Chain A
Amino acid sequence: MTAYVTVKGLSRVFDVSKPWLNRVLERRGKAFLTAVSEVDLDIEERTTYALVGESGSGKSTIGRMLVGLLRPTGGEVEVEGVNLDRETDRAKVAKVRGDIQMIFQDPYASLNPRWRVRDIIVEPVAVKSGDTEGLAERLLEQVGLHAADAGKFPHEFSGGQRQRICIARALASEPRLIVCDEPTSALDVSVQAQVLNLMSDLKEEFGLTYLLITHDLTVVRHMADRIGVLYLGRLVEEADPTTLFETPKHPYTQMLLNAAPRIDGFGREVDPPQGEIPDPINPPPGCAFHPRCPIARDICRQERPRIRPLGATRVACHLAE
């Protein structure tokens, strides 16, 4: 099987400097935030690749670069063998872009409140002057809503129903890859189960590939075929769910798995992890995790670990074995 998406050395730096005048008056230099730093990953066709990480880990930034909402500062993204930033054949790029869709976190902000559901769903097709006759109605039925809902406005729906509408919009242009950015973190548990099941069903039915971006480890375990763990914009570990959850190799993954609350963890006395995520504008030298790492040595403070294969896992840690 060949990789559907190939990401090589992907980086994104944001200029977070204050305005020019403030910089001059306060005698400060420019400030840069490295949101994503040299990430390599492959996504196989018809699989779900999950990116997990806490806030500031760069997981959403990677998703936005993949769909073309942001341009990478470094590295490359190849989808269907087409390098999206270098390819000069516009038609080719447009074709690939059309195969990628996205589902967002906030079901309240991702639907235009002034548009009827029908217009929202068919917009991706209408832009390319495709055939939209009955399309919205068909898609609504497919995501478990009613055809009659097409004439309503978003505010008439609950959060879970809105997320179904978002999924219907994403499906409208018949994509092959859907980037799902925290698709259920704004939803209640029982509704989350409905949406996750729907996503699984649609994946089977349409042969979709998902890039699932989330901070929720339980969702990842349930949905993913392959999991990448991000810390401060760096990919620190990658494995299949069973391997990752049963034998985590990176100290950060171990900490994360240990700290996450469990519904069967009654009165569990966790040894809470130390410290917090460092400032991404001035990340620690060497391994970004070393200030919080229980087993850090000198080399961790000096040299940034490369990601390397280790059994069924890829891990970026000097000491993992």
Chain B
Amino acid sequence: MRAAFASALTRLAEEDERVVLLTGDLGFMVWEPFAERFPDRFLNVGVAEQNMIGLATGLAEAGLRPYCYSIATFASLRPYEFVRNGPILHQLPVRIVGVGAGLDYGHNGVTHYALEDVAVMRAQPDISIVAPADPDQAVAALREVHELPGPTYLRIGKEPGVVPGLEGRFRLGGIETIGDGGDAVVVALGTMARDAIRAAELLRESGVDTTVAIVSSVRPSPAEELSDVLQRADLAVTVEAHYVDGGIGSLVAEVIAEHGVDCRLVRCGIREMPRGLTGSPDYLKGRLGLDAESIADAALRALERA
């Protein structure tokens, strides 16, 4: 996804001379084409994320479209107050691009896992939050958010895998569904879509007709479309490479409560800080209850069919 996003942003910079790319000294083998093509509009600001967001605030106020790139934890958490008092307070089109959704940086350890980036951004009004599920959707989402007048947080995955059946569809404020089973709906945040689809297949084999709802636009909120899907199911299982509090587990709980939906909720996500736990993203998902088997088991237990 990262490579596709970088290519798409480079193409966007060809069309729109307002695009400026700032990186906090990250993006080896990612941004070289952009840097060679647009040397004046590529700025490695060094390992200084607070300054990066401050710079972007000044650039955007003057009419430019700064994209700020770093690993998701460093892009979202270190400069958080600068994001709040800069682009959010001033309503400026700064794009914060956090790479490494959830456990993508598996071997690097917990400092590199983005486990609360969506939660902290959800705590702020007036910033769009987009977590694409695959490369094609990331490209589509970039096009959609580019012209937004306010700030955007983009949570970009590292893996190249494509979500079968998604075909790059993306709508701000919408969800994308795969399948139309009425027993359960598995709601996946961005890059967890493929695991959710495999879990839905396992559930169908156990006789549970399942819909997968992919949430890639966290804000604008997909509450209305989520409500429609949840109304038709007995059980919702949320799946996110993120802490369970503040992400889409919380989002779906809010939708169920505020729309008065009669639907049981099970939240699959991370509940404790994974100290001293490293490994491949797939290994970590297995350990943390986020692989397809664990998701399906959680659903079956809730339906008392396990």
A interacts with B: no
Q: Which residues of B contact A (CB under 8 A)?
A: none
Q: Which residues of A contact B (CB under 8 A)?
A: none
